[in-house]
Amino acid sequence: MYNRILKNLLTQQMLVIKDLTKNVLNEEITSSQVFNQELLSRLIESIPQGHRDIIVDFLSGFNELLQEAMPKPPLDIQEKRIRKAKDYIWKNYKKSITEIEVAQHVGLSTSGLSHLFKNNGAGYLYYLNEVRIEHACRLLLETNDTVEGIGYCCGFVNSAHFNMVFKRHKGVTPGKFRKIKSEKLKIKNE
- Whole-number average pLDDT of the chain: 79
What confidence tier does 121 reach under pLDDT thresholds 50, 70, 90? confident
What confidence tier does 119 reach under pLDDT thresholds 50, 70, 90? confident
Task: Tell whether the model's pLDDT for residue 76 goes beyond 70.
Answer: yes
CA-angle at 96, arms to 30 and 113, nearest 5° = 30
Who contacts 111 (Cβ-Cβ below 8 Å, separation ≥6)?
A: 35, 63, 67
Mean pLDDT of 149-169: 94
Cβ contact 86:128 at 8 Å:
no
CA separation for the pair 120, 101 (Å, rounded): 19
CA separation for the pair 100, 37 (Å, rounded): 8
Who contacts 83 (Cβ-Cβ below 8 Å, separation ≥6)?
A: none
CA separation for the pair 128, 92 (Å, rounded): 10
What confidence tier does 1 reach under pLDDT thresholds 50, 70, 90? low
CA separation for the pair 183, 165 (Å, rounded): 23
CA distance to 4, 36, 59, 109, 188, per residue, from 52 (Å) = 15, 18, 10, 21, 64
